[in-house]
Amino acid sequence: MDARERLERCGVAVTANRLLVLGALSGAGRPQTPQELLIALPGRMNRVTLYRILELLVERGVAARHNADGRAFRYCLGQGAAGHSHFHCTRCGATRCVDSATLEPGLSRLLSGLPMQVDMAEVTLGGVCESCLNA
């Protein structure tokens, strides 16, 4: 699915800036902080514009936002709910997306037993990444 399709499918109007942000997110291969995105984006995007776009993408489920290390928010493509978790390395600080689709049945069971309406669920894994383990 290309960037344009992804936006349209989530009901987000396609603009040049939104396509640029989506391109930067998908090209990165790991969750990005707004600062990293500003550096990666071609040309000079206004910080406020970037934040607005990121907010919209998260709201519409195009991108996920999380703060694995409790400092900076990071953004990546895909929804933040089940099926998509994040790993944060406490040694080198690397953060990456982890496919956690196997959690889905358990999560659905948990949610169906709760009296609240749950709109988002996030699983964050922390520990030592394989590069640090092998270092």
Q: Which spans of this chain sit near Zn ion (rule: CB under 5 A)?
A: 76, 89, 91-92, 94, 97, 129, 132
- Listed in sequence order, the residues at least 6 apart from 85 whose beta carbon sits closer than 8 Å to its beta carbon are 97, 98, 99, 100, 103, 122, 123, 124, 125
Residue number with CB closer to Zn ion (53 or 89): 89
CB of 130 to Zn ion, least distance (A): 8
Among 43, 35, 123, which Cα is nearest to 71's? 35
Distance CA 128, CA 132 (A): 6
Distance CA 87, CA 16 (A): 31
CB of 67 to Zn ion, least distance (A): 12
CB of 94 to Zn ion, least distance (A): 5
Residue number with CB closer to Zn ion (22 or 97): 97
Residue number with CB closer to Zn ion (47 or 91): 91
